[in-house]
Amino acid sequence: MLTATSATPTSAPALLAEGVSKAFVSGQQRTQVLDGLSLSLNAGELTLISGPSGCGKSTLLAILSGLQKVDSGRVHALGSELGLLDLRALERFRLQHTGFVFQGFNLFPALSAFEQVELPLNHMGLSRVEARRRAQESLEEVGLAHRMRLRPSELSGGEKQRVAIARALAKEPELLFADEPTSALDAANGQMIIDILHRIARAHGTTVLCVSHDPRLVVHADRVLAMEDGRILSDRRPHAPDASDHGTPS
């Protein structure tokens, strides 16, 4: 079984997958998407999962975030085994501890940028004052303080994605998941988005997991896991002093 782990873990991992397998069945056709995959991720890093379309990246992201169940294996997130949580507990876990950024922005056309960010905070039991403070600070952090009253139709693609990041960031999540966050953007905006995600990991101690087949992102990640056919083929740190792979078993 192929295992990918961090080079120098200093504490319990924020995310841990052990022997995770997942298949989808359509009629008599069974497709193995993840095949005995194991990995651990530590806080404060931006980890990129790269690989071709259909290799299992998005399925892995969904499983690690509790959106999908495994067929076999275990997933521990922030010390909780996700497979042991019932539906209500999983929903509460995602609301309180995770943030999501998607390729398609997922913004409401009628709401301003500020309202987009504030909305999920209202479901977390925060006071109106606290929700508004967090929304404003998050928009400021992604450089959109001057655009917070505008609706999506008045924003560029890069600005829409920054609103989506601010919406996730305002929850102060320990885990931040990004699914192809730059694929709909040009090079300049894609660069800005990955820089923001990297800064969030460093400044907030957040575990940021990004899946993408965009080769431009590789050099900006702390750690790169290459996937193919439901397995992790390599685990490397692009900026490591010795430029060698770490944690990849022989």
| The total number of structural domains that make up the chain | 1
* pLDDT of the residue at 220: 82
Q: Chunk the chain into consecutive blocks of 10 residues (it has 250) and report each block's average pLDDT, rounded to whole numbers.
A: 42 89 89 92 92 87 92 93 92 92 90 95 90 96 95 95 96 94 87 92 94 82 91 85 45
CA distance linking residue 206 with residue 11, whole number of Å: 14
* Residue 97 within a domain: yes
**Residue closest to 17 by CA, chosen among 207, 237, 222:** 207
Contact 181, 193 (CB under 8 A): yes
> From residue 79, how far is each of 48, 97, 174, 200 by CA, in Å?
22, 12, 12, 22
CATH assignment at residue 131: 3.40.50.300
Q: Which domain holds residue 111?
A: 42-70+85-236
121 lies in a domain? yes
- Position 241 scores a pLDDT of 59
Q: Is residue 18 part of a domain?
A: no
Q: What is the pTM of this model?
A: 0.87
Residue 32 lies in a domain: no
The reply to whether 241 falls in a domain is no
Evaluate whether residue 12 is within a structural domain: no
Helices 157-169 and 128-141: crossing angle, nearest 10°?
140
Backbone phi, psi, residue 165, to 5°: -65, -45
Round to whole Å and give the CA distance between 140 and 138.
5
- Asked if residue 249 belongs to a domain, the reply is no
**Angle (CA) 83 84 88, round 5°:** 95
Tell whether 124 is covered by a domain: yes
